[in-house]
Structure 1
Amino acid sequence: MFFELKLKRDVILQPHELKSGMYLTGAVLSKLVEDLNLLKCTEEHGYYVAATTLESIGQGRIRSVTGSVVFAVEFNCLVFKPYKGEIVESVVSQITRTGFEARCGPFESLFVHQKMMEGFEFHEAQSPAFNTFKDSQGTEIQKDTVVRVKLIALRWDDRERTYRALATLNDDYMGPVQAFETGLDLNK
């Protein structure tokens, strides 16, 4: 789910980042975006997608040892935080005998086990890149297929700074999105 949050953060600018002729707002915003990209995700807020507005920049405090300047910044940020029970559209990234992995925007660790997709059977190809899952109606799940899934379990991975999820196709209107656009009923 996407949210816009009001956040506070200290932004540290090194002396060489305070170039003459560059506006302070531009330097602070550039460093803020860089810091959020490095941070990537937190358990509390989810994935940082974009800083949308810079609300205020506090008075700079100079650090005596390094000469860097610390600015207290308030800003609005668009975040993506997955929740158990949420329905998301994801793109299949890999298919294995046990299920498939998918990604949804910045959220790249989503897995659907074969037991969580009733009616679909694994079809192995000569190359793993071409493995598929097919059902009796000819609906196919392969690499790069857009699939609507329901998140049934989430886990925060502190080492990787990301969420991992287990999802299912066993619910109404779940499965490959193109199947719904062409009128196939995956729930029969």
Structure 2
Amino acid sequence: MNYKWDCSCYFRFGIATKTNISLEHEILLHPRYFGPNLLNTVKQKLFTEVEGTCTGKYGFVIAVTTIDNIGAGVIQPGRGFVLYPVKYKAIVFRPFKGEVVDAVVTQVNKVGLFTEIGPMSCFISRHSIPSEMEFDPNSNPPCYKTVDEDIVIQQDDEIRLKIVGTRVDKNDIFAIGSLMDDYLGLVS
């Protein structure tokens, strides 16, 4: 699955999650693109193919920062296509266990909170929400709140959470979070 995100939201995350690393990618180009704008086409195709994707090893590729080298193209026998090896640097987002990040609540139900940390989904079980906060199914929208309603967490609220675990797939990363620590919860 390919995603596009607003990069401005990533600068709220912890320092450890964003890194500028060197990566490699191969661009397969159709012969119709051969001509005076060949290099610009290769660059544009690189941005389109890698920005917004996720690799299990490096995380989410947020933005390509520099293109270091576009190698000599290799003609694909019998097809006419050319394969260009490209070396580039990109900002990647890879969360780590124990990291504290800001997230947006996307869904609230009796089992817990579903949130998004930029492109990544994160679930917070009701067992990882402080005991003084109770689920209120009768409120509209549903929420977790304290008895005195001093703190109310509902859909679209921004919260600060601690990542307690991650599951890394080939093309996605999913996190489990907790609000059971000092300075975590609703960001006001």
State TM-score, norm by structure 1: 0.85
SS in structure 2 opposite 1:94? Answer: strand
SS in structure 1 opposite 2:46? Answer: helix
Q: 1:85 to 1:126 in 2, by over 3 A?
A: closer
Give, in whole Å, the separation in 2 of the partners of 1:170 and 1:61.
54
Q: 2:48 aligns with which of 21, 28, 34?
A: 34
SS in structure 1 opposite 2:166? Answer: strand
- Structure 1: 5+ residue stretches without partners: 179-188
1:24-173 map, 5 Å? 24-37=38-51, 40-107=53-120, 109-118=121-130, 119-125=132-138, 130-137=141-148, 138-158=150-170, 161-173=171-183
Please identify runs of 4+ aligned residues in structure 1 that moved more than 2 A.
none
Q: 1:148 to 1:84 in 2, by over 3 A?
A: same
Cα RMSD, aligned residues only = 1.6
Give, in whole Å, the separation in 1 of the partners of 2:157 and 2:187.
8
Aligned residues: 170
State TM-score, norm by structure 2: 0.85
The CA deviation string for residues 68-93 of structure 1, in whole angstroms up to 9 with x for no partner, is: 11111110011000110010100000
Superposition deviation, residue 115 in structure 1:
1.1
Q: 1:131 to 1:17 in 2, by over 3 A?
A: farther
Aligned identity (percent) is: 31
- Structure 2: 5+ residue stretches without partners: 1-16
Q: 1:105 to 1:30 in 2, by over 3 A?
A: same
SS in structure 2 opposite 1:66? Answer: coil
Superposition deviation, residue 64 in structure 1:
2.2
Question: What is aligned with 1:3?
Answer: 19
